Structure 1
Amino acid sequence: MTTPHVPAVTRSLLVRIEAKPGKAAEVEAFLRSAIGLAVEEQRTVHWFALRIGPSTFGVFDTFADEEGREAHLHGPIAAALMAKAPELLATAPVIERVDIIAAKP
């Protein structure tokens, strides 16, 4: 049996999202619906939508290189989130560019 090849990931994004009061369910629904777009992104290796607290959410995604990370930042998920931000988010998303220094394949 062979092990599937998983590209090495060296870049990631860690995004913190705070929903406006009463909008947490809509933010969660948005993030759940974004999985289809994430699957279509060829250069996004992993994509996770997270619930951190009652109104706090996050996204963690990984990329093999900087070009993949940049493509994601300018892709359809980011555009859709920014379009919904005035309606759903209490503050602008906090986007951190993270370099991965070790990972379990």
Structure 2
Amino acid sequence: MLATKAQGTPEASDKRALVVLLEAKAGKEADVQKFLEGGLPIVRDEPATLHWYALRLSPTTFGIVDTFPDEAGRQAHLSGKVAAALMANAPELLSRPPSIEKVDVLAVKR
């Protein structure tokens, strides 16, 4: 795990989530890692982003998993600074566009 944000109480409900997969260009792996680690301070200021995990799945594959209480929170995050920076930097850092999947959370253990 590269970076994480977790907030809320057991009563907080993680209803919506995003699963994002990123494939780094050859030689850009360290830059993608740095970008993801740099996103943590930004998402800390997003009250509706309950959990945010930046992950490394393989030497070139990275991921983000984040949860939200509702669709409005998810949309706020997708319209926020990290998403804008990701899309702006994707052509330089990634070998293909990010895969961004909107998912519903079925169960949570806290």
Whichever of the two has the greater Rg, that structure is 1
Show the counterpart of 1:30: 35
Length, aligned pairs only: 102
Unaligned runs of 5+ in 2: 1-7
Q: What TM-score, normalized to structure 1?
A: 0.94
Q: Take 1:59 and 1:67, find their aligned partners in 2: how far apart are those partners?
A: 19
Structure 2 residue corresponding to 1:41, chosen from 39, 43, 46 = 46
Structure 1: unaligned runs, 5 residues or longer: none
How far, CA to CA, are the matches of 1:92 and 1:86 in structure 2?
A: 8
AA of the residue aligned to 1:104 = K
Consecutive aligned runs of 4 or more in structure 1 exceeding 4 Å deviation: none
RMSD of aligned Cα (Å): 1.0
- Residue of structure 2 in register with 1:86 after alignment: 91
Residue 5 of structure 1 and its aligned partner are, at CA, apart by 2.5
Give the alignment partner of residue 105 of structure 2, picking from 75, 97, 100. 100
In 2, distance between residues paired with 1:41 and 1:64?
Answer: 12
The yes-or-no answer on 1:13 pairing with 2:29 is no
Q: SS state of the match for residue 97, structure 1?
A: strand
Equivalents in 1 of 2:81, 2:106: separation in Å?
Answer: 28
TM-score normalised by structure 2 residue count = 0.90
